[in-house]
Amino acid sequence: MADERETELEEDGVLPVDNYMGGQPSYPDRSGYEAPWRFFFRLDHEDGDPYFLNFADGGGYAYLSPDRLEGRFKWEAA
């Protein structure tokens, strides 16, 4: 897996990141939950992972309330 990622980086100059925390939600979930909810993390649909999550080739998105006492999770299928 690491060799595949290094090859992608060498060929394209970009390393795809499908699972991440913080920042902004990626397309297609740009709208997400409106303020004051804050984007927290994104999980990608990946076959073969030890903990397979089936988002039908889409992604899952988590949001936190302003006081960080409540979370919401939604997913989008591609």
The pLDDT tens digits along the chain (78 residues) read: 556 656 665 666 555 667 788 877 766 556 667 788 888 888 887 666 666 777 777 788 899 999 999 999 988 876
Whether residue 56 contacts residue 77, with contact meaning beta carbons closer than 8 Å, is answered with: yes
Cβ–Cβ contacts within 10 Å for residue 62, how many?
19
Please provide residue 61's backbone torsions phi and psi, each rounded to the nearest 5 degrees. Answer: -130, 135
**pLDDT at residue 8, rounded to an integer:** 62
Task: Name the pTM for this structure.
Answer: 0.66
| CA 75/CA 78 separation, integer angstroms | 10
Contacts of 29 (CB under 8 A, 6+ apart): 42, 59, 61, 74, 76
Q: What is the CA radius of gyration of the chain?
A: 14
**pLDDT at residue 31, rounded to an integer:** 62
